[in-house]
Amino acid sequence: MNEKSRLLKRYIFIVSMAVLMIEGALQASAAGLVINEVMSNVRGSDSGLGTPGDRNEFIEIFNASDDTIDLSLYRVSDMDAVDDIIAWTDTLLLDPDAVYGATHLPPGEYSVILDPEYIEIGDGNYLQPYDFPPKTLIVTVGNTTIGDGLSTKDPIILLDASEDTVSSYGTPGNTVDNIPYDPGDGISVERISPFYPDNELYWVSSQESSGSTPGAANSCYSQAELILPSYGFNIEPEKIVSGETVTLSVLVQNQTEDTVKGVSIDFFVDTDWDSILSSNEEIATLYKDDPIPPYGCTLRVEVEWKPASIGNKRVGVKLSGDEKAETFKMLKVGDIVGEIIITEIMYAPLRGGEWLELYNRAPFPIDLFGWKMKVGVQDAITISVKHTVLPQNEYLVIVEDKTLFQTKWGNVPSTIVEPEKWTSLGNSGDTILIEDNSFFIFEEIFYRDGSEQGVSIERINIDIKSNLNWNWGNSCDYSGATPGRKNSIYASSSHSKTVLSVNPNPFSPDGDGYQERTVISYELPFNKAKVNLSLYTRTGIRKHNFLKQKDSGRNGEFIWDGRDSGGKKMPVGLYIVYLEAVDKETNKKIIQKTAVVIAGRR
């Protein structure tokens, strides 16, 4: 039997006990060393010698006992390799607050197991990125990497001198739960409390703006007596049609050593996404007198709710009077267009790299921290690992390479975000998902190949569903795309009126610097059209083809300098501007004419 098989065998008992745990009967983990945080998907490239992925992984250990413990008596494993824990002795560690050169961890303190290559320059990116709090004990392993190099799919175990497991992450041996998992680029996985067992309910992605909390209390950990853990808030079902009822249920968890009795819980729909309960947002307030035993035991509270309208509902629950004890979850009511939508996709660029554009339809700003984008069957990527607020009615462009993008498109009038990793956009069509940090899908679109290289596909109407093929078309902008601004084929609503105008009219292209040119503009009742725009004399002789079989959206314009198609100045007089447009969807043709006058010098 190889070592990996023996390690798996040791976990049969642990996994069996986890399966048998029932809600409300969870006891605190036995006091001792606890794997409290794991960073396996570091910020930056994670493949290749000297990359951040080769240097910046870590495992955090917490001493939950009352005694100082010597970590050199323990080993750590990712189920592929087993490593001794040894003292960190390299003086090139830049953090002045860290404690190193020792392996003794005092009670209630944290130790961080760093990759031995943490202090190396490597490719020069993300050098020594972590800021360790005072008293953090830094140790490492007696190998070139932690385990075989940490993967987001690797469970981790901590072994004592007798090779007994004292703590774990990822429920080794259990292949049916959802841990280990990938929290996103540069984001660690945190245990909700060091006193809770290794179970998928008790691990979450770090909410710290830097992405992790090595050497400090986890961002998800609360020292309050009662908490509402995010994993314990459920909405069933998570998607309904108008008029249906859902069940909202939440766990109230007791973190003290004493039984708690009597709690009041507020359920509300956070219509403005400000996380504050307003009087017009309340769903129900429930008081429960049931006793909640100590050490992590829970009480489940439920209420039924029938939403009054369709839309994406941000449902909140909080302990009455405690602004910090709260959690939120999304509910989809009806088949609606989301708040955050995709409005433009550049999947076949000539230059500038791939990119796509998001738009916030909501009447309030939305923070995209931890949101993800998934293309086809590829792994999801994190859009932003920082708090990135997208204001209402504004655009955000997600780019493959910011430098290449700005070289091609300049400084666009919107936020530009370059994720730590990129996922390729298929040239023959693909599916794109946009989801928030709780995996609620706000946008899902399947696009088809149909655009020429260097030309984006644009959404016509932001209030119409994404997956309607006729709501998309090739950009008609002269540059091939409109990143960060209104689409060239944008239409707010359908109308039947055709407008053809000339301004100024008359105009006088006589060289005096006044009204030398005029703008011929049109507005069509079609979202996508082929346009011919010409100039005729009053006797019907064509003098200029301004536009010939031009792809157009609803609006367009042409600036005329008073010359014919050969570049010759036209004489003073009245001329006819002739517009012909054909709807590309229905082949319906419209014709519009208007007069333009070339005036002479006064």
Task: Give me the pLDDT at residue 601, please.
Answer: 56
Structure token pair of residue 80: 């592929």
Q: In three state form, how does the secondary structure of 259-314 look?
A: CEEEEEEEEEECCCCCCCCCHHHEEEEEEEEEEECCCCCEEEEEEEECCCCCEEEE
How far apart CA 200 and CA 323 sit, in angstroms, is 26
With beta carbons less than 8 A apart as the criterion, state whether 397 and 412 touch. yes
Please tell me the CATH code under which domain 226-333 is placed. Answer: 2.60.40.10
3-state SS class at 395: strand
Q: Which helix (H) or strand (E) holds 12?
A: helix 3-20
Select the CATH number that applies to the domain covering 340-474 from these four: 3.30.70.3270, 3.30.1360.200, 2.60.40.1260, 3.20.20.70. 2.60.40.1260
Task: Give me the pLDDT at residue 58, please.
Answer: 97
Phi, psi (5° rounding) for residue 396?
-140, 135
Task: Give me the pLDDT at residue 457, please.
Answer: 93
- Beta-carbon-side half-sphere exposure of residue 367 (alpha carbons within 13 Å): 13
With beta carbons less than 8 A apart as the criterion, state whether 433 and 374 touch. yes
User: Which residue bears the tokens 């932690």?
Assistant: 146
Structure token pair of residue 529: 């059209």
Which residues, given as ranges, of the chain have pLDDT below 50? 1-30, 494, 602
Instruction: Report the topology of domain 3-205.
Output: Immunoglobulin-like (2.60.40)
Instruction: Report the topology of domain 499-598.
Output: Immunoglobulin-like (2.60.40)
For the CA atoms of the chain, what is the radius of gyration? 31
Task: Give me the pLDDT at residue 6, please.
Answer: 41
Could you give the C-alpha distances from 15 to 4, 11, 73, 115, in angstroms and in order?
16, 6, 25, 28
Cβ neighbours of 408 (radius 10 Å) = 19
How far apart CA 216 and CA 66 sit, in angstroms, is 18
Cβ neighbours of 520 (radius 10 Å) = 22
Phi, psi (5° rounding) for residue 111?
-125, 145
Task: Give me the pLDDT at residue 322, please.
Answer: 64
Residue 161 CA to chain centroid, in angstroms? 43
Task: Give me the pLDDT at residue 306, please.
Answer: 96
Q: Of the candidates 67, 73, 77, 66, which has an alpha carbon nearest to the alpha carbon of residue 87? A: 73
Residue 119 CA to chain centroid, in angstroms? 31
Where are the strands (E) in 32-161, listed by range? 33-39, 58-63, 69-70, 75-77, 82-87, 104-105, 110-114, 137-141, 156-159
Task: Give me the pLDDT at residue 496, please.
Answer: 56
Q: Is the N-terminal amide bond of 413 cis, ω within 30° of 0?
A: no
Structure token pair of residue 23: 């809600």
- Beta-carbon-side half-sphere exposure of residue 5 (alpha carbons within 13 Å): 2
The single-letter code of the amino acid at 16 is S
Same fold, 226-333 and 499-598: yes
Domain boundaries defined on the chain: 3-205, 226-333, 340-474, 499-598
Cβ neighbours of 271 (radius 10 Å) = 15
